[in-house]
Amino acid sequence: MNMLEFLDKFTADYQVECHQSSLSVQEVVAGRHISGVQVARPVVIRVDGKHYMCVVPVYCGVDLSVVKDKLGAQCAEFVDDRDTGGLFPCCQVGAESPFGTLYGLPTLMDASLESEEYIAFQGETYDKAVFMTMAEYKRLASPRIFSFGYPGN
pLDDT of 33 reads: 63
pLDDT of 85 reads: 64
For residue 17, the number of C-alpha atoms closer than 13 Å in the C-beta half-sphere is 18
pTM for the model: 0.91
Residues counted in the chain = 153
User: For the purposes of burial, counting CB atoms within 10 Å of the CB of 130, is it exposed (0-12), middle (13-18) or buried (19 or more)?
Assistant: buried
Domain layout of the chain by residue ranges: 3-140
pLDDT per position as a tens digit, 70-126: 999 999 999 987 777 678 878 888 888 899 999 899 999 999 999 999 999 988 888
pLDDT per position as a tens digit, 3-29: 999 999 999 999 998 877 766 777 777
Amino acid at 20: Q
> Cβ(53)–Cβ(87) under 8 Å?
no
Please, what sign has the CA dihedral across residues 98, 123, 126, 117?
Answer: negative
Q: How far apart are CA 79 and CA 45, in angstroms?
A: 5
Pairing relation of β-strands 128-133 and 37-47?
unpaired
Q: Which one has a higher pLDDT value, 65 or 83?
A: 65
Three-state DSSP class for residue 150: strand
Task: Could you please state the CATH topology (level 3) that the domain comprising 3-140 is classified under.
Answer: YbaK protein (3.90.960)
pLDDT of 80 reads: 82
Binned at pLDDT 50, 70 and 90, residue 37 comes out as confident
Q: What is the DSSP letter of 116?
A: -
pLDDT of 28 reads: 74
Q: Which one has a higher pLDDT value, 17 or 68?
A: 68
